[in-house]
Amino acid sequence: MIGVDFGGTRIKVAVVEGAVIERSADLETQSGAGPGEILDAIADQVRALAPGPEAVGLAIPGEVDSSGKIWRLPNVPGFAGVAMARELRERLGCPIVVENDGTAAALAEALFGHGREHPSFMMLTLGTGIGGGLVLDGNPHRGAHGFAAEVGHVSIERGAIEPGADPWQCGCGRYGCMEAYAGTAGLLRRFAELGGQANEIREIAESARRGEDAGRLVFEGMGEALGLGITTMQNLLDLDAFVFTGGVSRSFDLIEPALRRTLRDHGFAQILSEVPLLLSGLEDRAGVIGAAHLPGRFA
Ligand SMILES: [Zn+2]
């Protein structure tokens, strides 16, 4: 099985067997390269790893319809409207399935991670943005147009950080999205407002672990923001678990107390608020492993 994890800065191509990456290669996502050049580079790399591929699954950081045509790829210019699956099929001569990276990672988690014990779960990727993938009864849910589980843009309005304050603008342009408060830009902004200085989330985590208020309050605010968003999802879906991955999830122990408290304060029923909050063991392999299994699930 061949998976391609198309990220904003690099593209990982891998030959996968079950949950094991047998061989892989990384490509840079060259800035300035057009879709044609990038698709050529992906096809060349696939052939280099696996001449005569039977099928390829591709995970992208954006939304795609069920035919494999891109709706939106915010971090890689020029791809909106590109018929990604058809273009790659013409280059490689085999079936291609393209899916949002959050959904691909959730498929990997469903097959090889916590999904084995918890058949209905939401996966949240904590990083620059807040990505998501929803699995219901073992099946990744894509939505009518591929936009399901855009959890970062669940509105939590104001109040997550300071009641009465103006809502923060999200990268998507709207105000009050969960991602505006719990994505890295929001965390860095909050740390600066509290008098800290940091360029990376790691520095904020170090501040929190030294017991400083600034670092501690940033992660508490993040936990509250996630807690409000997750309360909405949990009141709607009554899931078996929420699974966290992504770089910022390394600080989950700093986030979890406020997240759980907020869930308990706002959940519709106590049983909904006690939902397991779990860390993925697949880490950054989930995207490419899930991508490799997409053709088996969706072809
Ligand atoms: Zn948004």
Q: 276 in the Ramachandran plot: left (φ > 0), alpha (ψ -120 to 50) or beta?
A: beta
Q: Quote the ligand 1 centre to 182 CA distance (angstroms).
A: 11
Q: How many domains in the chain? A: 2
End-to-end CA distance of the chain: 13
Residue 234 falls within a domain, yes or no?
Answer: yes
Distances (CA, A) of 59 to 129, 149, 158, 159, 205: 16, 15, 33, 34, 30
Q: Are residues 149 and 242 in the same domain?
A: yes
CATH number for the domain spanning 291: value is: 3.30.420.40
pLDDT digit string, tens, across residues 15-29 = 999 999 999 999 987
Token pair of 168, please?
């923060």
d(CA 55, CA 94): 5
pLDDT at res. 32: 80
Q: Are residues 100 and 148 in the same domain?
A: no
pLDDT band at 188 (very low <50, low <70, confident <90, very high): very high
Residue numbers of the domain that contains 260:
118-280
Q: Are residues 178 and 255 in the same domain?
A: yes
Q: Quote the ligand 1 centre to 21 CA distance (angstroms).
A: 33
Q: Which residues contact residue 138 at a Cβ distance below 8 angstroms, ignoring those fewer than 6 apart? A: 110, 115, 119
pLDDT at res. 157: 74
Residue 172 falls within a domain, yes or no?
Answer: yes
Residue 113 falls within a domain, yes or no?
Answer: no
Q: Quote the ligand 1 centre to 175 CA distance (angstroms).
A: 7
d(CA 208, CA 214): 7
Residue 135 falls within a domain, yes or no?
Answer: yes
Q: Quote the ligand 1 centre to 74 CA distance (angstroms).
A: 12
- Summary mean pLDDT of the chain: 92
Q: Quote the ligand 1 centre to 47 CA distance (angstroms).
A: 37
Q: Quote the ligand 1 centre to 19 CA distance (angstroms).
A: 32
**What's the rounded mean pLDDT across residues 7-36?**
90
Residue 111 falls within a domain, yes or no?
Answer: no
Q: Are residues 126 and 268 in the same domain?
A: yes
Q: Are residues 126 and 237 in the same domain?
A: yes
Q: Are residues 132 and 49 in the same domain?
A: no
Decide if pLDDT at 12 tops 50. yes
**What's the rounded mean pLDDT across residues 141-170?**
78
Q: Are residues 276 and 143 in the same domain?
A: yes
Q: Are residues 273 and 133 in the same domain?
A: yes
Q: Are residues 95 and 130 in the same domain?
A: no
pLDDT digit string, tens, across residues 247-282 = 999 999 999 999 999 999 999 999 999 999 999 999
